[in-house]
Amino acid sequence: AITFTNKAAGEMKERIEAIVGPVARTMWVSTFHSACARILRKEAQLLGYQRNFTIYDAADQVRVVKRCLTELGEDIKRFPPKGIQAVISSVKNRLIDADEFGEMVENFFDDTVAKTYDLYQQKLFANNAMDFDDLIMRTVDLFRRFPDRLEHYRHAFRHVLVDEYQDTNHAQYVLVTMLGEEHRNVCVVGDDDQSIYSWRGADVRNILDFEKDFPEATVIKLEQNYRSTRTILAAANQVIHNNRDRKSKDLWSDLGEGDKVRVVEVEDEHAEARYVAGEVSRLRDGGHAAGDIAVFYRVNAQSRVLEDILVRYGIPYRVIGGTKFYERAEIKDALAYLLCLNNPADSVSLLRVINTPKRGLGKAAVAALTRFAEAEGVSLLEAAGRADDIADLRPAAMRSLKEFYGVMSRLSDAAQAGPVAQTLEEALTATGYLDALAAERTVEAEGRSENLQELVGVAAEYDHRAPEGSLSEFLQEISLYTDTDRLAELSETVTLMTLHNAKGLEFPVVFIIGAEEGVFPHSRSIEEQNLEEERRLCYVGMTRAKERLYFTYASTRNLYGARNYNMASRFIDEIGSELVELVSAASRRRFFGVDAGKAAAVSGESEAAGVDDGVDAVVASFFHPGDRVLHAVFGEGRVTGVEAGGTVAVTFVDGSERKLMVEYAPLKKLGK
């Protein structure tokens, strides 16, 4: 019996033993990786390994990849070890070995991965070690090369049971099929409507095609739901019915009708956060505990505004499967750069970023720098500028320190006059931080880049709100948001998480925020196959709610530093109106169709109108239809129009069309 987590395997084993008694202890109830490791401990010598082989964890794998890249003479800034390791892992999960991958390369990057993959496997073998992906890949290899061993385990496992089958990748699918294709005693449990991990390698076709692999299979539909009200389930069913590639089924419940799904329109992300915080307060006053309430969002960057408002309202919260926005490593790194610019004597912040991204400054170089600074009575940054005078530094470290000092000096000069958002953008670019993330080529790195663009948006909002403000005042304001540790210690907390992390959980009250086209469904999921996975993600989020379900969408949203005007998510439209209670928390201008800025000008507030006119004039003079532009998140595009309010319309290379407020958007003009 196979499942995906050790915790689930342990619970399964306990339940089986309670039913059948001590004989359960002879059964193999474990994860895929544990079962394969157990097989390989017995059979490893057939593959040339010793039985006491080491299993390398993620950190070990990255270290080995780094050594391989160094030996191959590759620049680890250009080819980050973590990113290369992620590609190798993905390839292994498709059961493609190093030789086969080497024959598939189509570009320079793939060629580098192929060479690294080959050397990586050589090093693992020389060290009598395997990584997690090897455990399954080598087991499949064992069964293919030694049919007698496959026959042995087929006989030993007369019944093969797999939980969460919709989450299996290709390697796991092949393993299950090999073990079960002779005796045909295979039982899988899963829900194709909850297949949401394709980015990890999961393939929904595994469960959709199960009856093709085993035509004689009996299908048992588990449609009764013991969690949610009938209204919530009816709404979720209506959404998921729009997917064509699925098994037909409908969840039902005998837990009563329950409240309608509340769909709330708000003006922007700040109004959205205020609405959620206010509703949370009302629910708590009505008897709900904070722990009953969860807020789901599509991407981590969306949590920032909500976290700020929850702090202001004094509502305790926790972030599951992620880190609070201002505690994320990339955010701390970016703020550390700003802290150094604001206070060059801040050694704590400088030590955080002096080798982030990697500059070849190891512990020995940093120790030498620290000793020199203490001996001379100067700051670490000033000591870096005098690297030529530090006797026990290697030439490479000396050059890196002087380059670092030069970059920080130039940024310091720029920070004196420029807005905070501009200073932050220049710091992230000049220090190579964004380039280092881009070079990783991983989903995680992309998410970190998005978080940094969200921080740029925070700075832009500050600049707009306090045009006479300073970097020092901005950092002081941020420090107030980050002082939330005392709230996290409280046992009753509202739960914040991405929709992907919500799977398997349940809450009496669920908010799904940011339900807008381009946000959820995500702008990168415009193809039908990806759109169906986005819809499954919505279905998962909806079915986490036991009693109350809310959707919120904003008329305009500043995300990743860009002001977007999005329509409500198609997923909201797919819910029947009879199941929905519509609530508008938008401003008056939404109801009467009058732009608030124009209304203010009519009423005599000519100064505000003059500011708007000034912004329009500046934008109109700089951007023109046909201009090529570059956005840090959305990539290259072409201006299609210039509108009032300092807004430009841009069509990007991926086909998406966006309206961006130049005042906030990280938009660079490339020419015609």
Please give the pLDDT value at position 632.
61
Is 611 contained in some domain? Answer: yes
CATH for 637: 2.30.30.40
- Work out the number of other CB atoms within 10 angstroms of the CB of residue 350: 25
Here the CATH number for the domain that contains residue 404 is 1.10.486.10
- Last-in-domain residue among 586, 605, 631: 586
Distance CA 565, CA 131 (A): 46
Provide the 10 A C-beta neighbour count for residue 5: 12
Q: Is residue 221 part of a domain?
A: no
Same domain, 657 and 622: yes
Here the tokens at position 447 are 């998410």
**Phi and psi for 283 in degrees, rounded to 5?**
-65, -40
Tally of CB atoms within 10 A around 236: 27
| 478, 508, 542 - which closes a domain | 478
Q: DSSP class of residue 291?
A: G
Same domain for 458 and 493, yes or no, is no
Co-location of 320 and 335 in the same domain:
no
Query: DSSP string of 580-627?
Result: EEEEE---HHHHH---HHHHHHHTT-HHHHHHHHHHHHHHHHH--TT-
Do 459 and 417 sit in the same domain of this protein? yes
In a domain, 138, yes or no: yes
| Res 60: pLDDT | 78
The answer to whether residues 356 and 474 belong to one domain is: yes
For residue 315, the Cα-to-chain-centroid distance in whole angstroms is 25
Residue 646: DSSP 8-state: T
| Shared domain check, 319 and 170 | no
Q: What pLDDT is recorded for position 607?
A: 34
Q: Which residues pair with residue 522 across a beta bridge?
A: 518
**Could you tell me the two tokens for 171?**
């390697």
Helices 269-285 and 303-313: crossing angle, nearest 10°? Answer: 50
- Residues 575 and 617 both lie in one domain: no
Closest-CA residue to 317 (of 343, 363, 284, 352): 284
pLDDT recorded at residue 76: 87
Longest Cα–Cα distance of the chain, Å, equals 89
Q: Do both 432 and 581 map to the same domain?
A: no
383 within domain boundaries = yes
Q: Judge contact between 153 and 39, C-beta under 8 A.
A: yes
Q: Which strands form 635-643's sheet, in the order they lie side by side?
A: 657-661, 647-652, 635-643, 628-631, 667-671
Written as six digits, the tokens of 660 are 């961006």
**365/403 same-domain check:** yes
Which residues does the chain have with pLDDT short of 50? 482-491, 587-618
Which residues, at least 6 apart from 451, have a Cβ–Cβ distance to it below 8 Å?
Answer: 300, 301, 304, 325, 328, 330, 331
φ, ψ (nearest 5 deg) of residue 391 = -65, -40
Looking at the fold, whether 72 and 127 belong to one and the same domain comes out as yes
Q: For residues 577 and 468, what is the distance between their CA atoms, to the nearest angstrom?
A: 48
| Nearest one of 557, 543, 566 to 250, comparing CA atoms | 543
Domains contained in the chain, number: 4
Q: Note whether residue 643 is domain-resident.
A: yes
Which candidate, 375, 387, 374, places its Cα nearest to that of 345?
374
Its domain, for residue 277, covers 252-324+484-586
CA dist., res. 641 & res. 620, Å (int): 10
Peptide bond into 80 cis (omega under 30): no
Q: Over the stretch 613-647, which tens digit does the pLDDT of each residue have? A: 444 444 555 778 888 888 766 778 899 988 765 67
Instruction: Clarify whether residues 611 and 470 are in a common domain.
Output: no
Based on the fold, state whether residues 195 and 307 are members of the same structural domain: no
- The whole-number pLDDT of residue 481 equals 56
Question: Which residue blocks in 57-194 are alpha helix, DSSP H?
Answer: 58-71, 81-93, 98-102, 108-126, 132-145, 147-156, 170-180
Contacts for 463-471: CB closer than 8 Å, 24+ residues apart: 463/419, 463/420, 463/421, 464/663, 464/664, 469/420, 471/338, 471/341, 471/342, 471/415, 471/420, 471/423
Burial 400-410 (b: 16+ CB within 10 A, else e): bbeebbebbee
**Dihedral angle, C-alpha 183, 184, 187, 188, nearest 10 °:** 120
- Angle formed at CA 650 by CA 451 and CA 536, multiple of 5 degrees: 55
- Residue 282 burial by Cβ neighbours in a 10 Å radius (0-12, 13-18, 19+): exposed
- 552, 586, 620 - which closes a domain: 586
Supply the DSSP symbol for 219: P
Would you call 450 exposed, middle or buried from its count of C-beta atoms within 10 A (0-12, 13-18, 19+)? Answer: buried
Specify if 239 maps to a domain.
no
CA within 13 Å, CB half, 315: 28
The CATH number given to whatever domain includes residue 29 is 3.40.50.300
CA distance 646 to 662: 6
226 in any annotated domain: no
Under DSSP, is residue 374 helix (H, G, I), strand (E, B) or coil? helix
Query: 504 — alpha (psi -120 to 50), left (phi > 0) or beta?
Result: left
Residue 484 confidence (pLDDT): 36
Phi, psi of 22 (to 5 degrees): -60, -25
Closest CA to 381 of 353, 416, 362, 422: 353
Are 436 and 355 in contact by the 8 Å Cβ rule? The answer is no
Whether 132 and 55 have beta carbons less than 8 Å apart is answered as yes
Q: Is residue 230 part of a domain?
A: no
Closest CA to 325 of 189, 208, 535, 478: 478
Which alpha helices (DSSP H) does 197-345 contain, by range?
A: 205-208, 210-213, 230-240, 269-285, 303-313, 329-342
Dist CA 207 CA 195 (whole Å): 9
